[in-house]
Chain A
Amino acid sequence: MGSRRTVLLRGARDGAPIAVGYFVVAFTLGFAAKNAGFSPVQAMVESLLNNASAGEYAVFSLVAAGAEYWEVAVMTLVANARYLLMSCALSQKLSPKTPLFHRLLLAFDLTDELFGISIAYPGALDPFYTYGAMALAIPGWGLGTFLGVAVGNVLPLRLVSALSVGLYGMFLAIIMPPAKQDRVVLILVLLSFALSFFASRAPFLSGISPGIKTICLTVIISFGAAIVKPREISCQMSVDG
């Protein structure tokens, strides 16, 4: 799969747009942190250690409301529970021989976007590909939060609105190519859109947090698909990276 340097650079190339998107999202997240009484450094540390937009947003709103410590623990668990599934999926993308420290390091920045590009990596995942992306994504995320608190509202709203869809564009770039090749994936994408729309708009579900909805829908749809359309056992994972 090429030399380590090539793989790192490839990860950095794919990580660059993610880092830009992170910077913007983190910047807006900084407003919430400021509301909760975080200093720029505290907000940056929170971001560097958590790497989760929804999870951090939940923490900032809870802290602003003067929540108990255990409430923050439970909310973080709920808002980030989808990473449990992603971590399971990523474990199957690694060669079984992948040493422990790579697993510990990969887990640190297992975000929606980095998970997405890691899963799209051909064959077994070379951790250095993800490290290349992390090297840009982590500073982008931390710096964005720092400046969001420190500088506050300097970007025009119009620009923030436009930049905020960048992350969704990345999601689309990850899900559409496999959907084009595999009709089952295409149907799942459309079904997920429809059910997610329903879940977010149905009045009787309005008391459930978006994080919980994401987990429930992911489990129900994926499990249903696994029963109805189980995949052939591929030899993809037997290739060592």
Chain B
Amino acid sequence: MKNIWIYILISALVSYLIRVTPLVLIRREITNRTLRSFLYYVPYVTLSVMTFPAIMDATSSPAAGLLALLAGAILAWKGKSLFLVAVSCCAVVFLFELFL
């Protein structure tokens, strides 16, 4: 029987090292244009990759997730707040699954 606290310690150490290393080591502005462009695009690409199709797998019915994606994308496009967009996505799924 392994010790759960050791599992916790190991995962916590690895998680923190991944996050802290670049932040501590990269102390100055990167001037390489390609690298700068790459790092500029990373957030948008990675958040997009994580959103779709995962949003369809998160709900009981995939169609509800797809509708939430459309609703959220339109509201966010119109510049609505983080909170409103998030709540609207939830509401769309709740209503869709309620009536189906």
Contact = CB atoms under 8 A, between A and B. Distances in A.
A192 B45 contact: yes
Interface stretch (A1-9, A74-82, A134-142, A147-155): A74-82
Contacts, number: 299
Given A107-B24, A165-B89, A229-B37, A158 B98 contact: yes
Contact of B42 (A85, A107, A117, A173): A85
Interface string A153-194: 000011101111111111111111111100001001100110
Given A46-B8, A169-B68, A175 B48 contact: yes
A241 B78 CA distance: 28
B58 A38 contact: no
A196 B35 CA distance: 23
A81 B94 CA distance: 33
A223 B32 CA distance: 13
A95 to B, nearest CB: 9
Given A172-B51, A173-B82, A85 B12 contact: no
Interface in B77-100: 77, 79-83, 85-94, 97-98
A207 interface: no
A217 B46 CA distance: 8
Nearest to A210: B54
A132 interface: no
Contact of B49 (A157, A195, A225, A231): A195
Interface residues of A, number: 102
A71 to B, nearest CB: 10
Contacts of B65: 165
Nearest to B48: A192
B41 A107 contact: no
Given A107-B24, A197-B53, A225-B41, A174 B89 contact: no
A208 interface: no
B12 to A, nearest CB: 4
B11 to A, nearest CB: 5
A192 B44 CA distance: 9
A107 B51 contact: no
B93 A107 contact: no
B15 to A, nearest CB: 5
Given A76-B14, A103-B20, A66 B48 contact: no
Contact of A218 (B22, B45, B51, B98): B45
A86 B82 contact: no
Given A96-B29, A231-B37, A221 B11 contact: no
15 contacts: A46-B8, A83-B19, A108-B20, A161-B94, A162-B93, A165-B89, A168-B51, A171-B50, A174-B76, A176-B77, A192-B45, A197-B53, A221-B49, A226-B40, A231-B36
Interface of B: 2, 4-8, 10-12, 14-16, 18-24, 26-31, 33-55, 58-60, 64-65, 68-69, 72-73, 75-77, 79-83, 85-94, 97-98
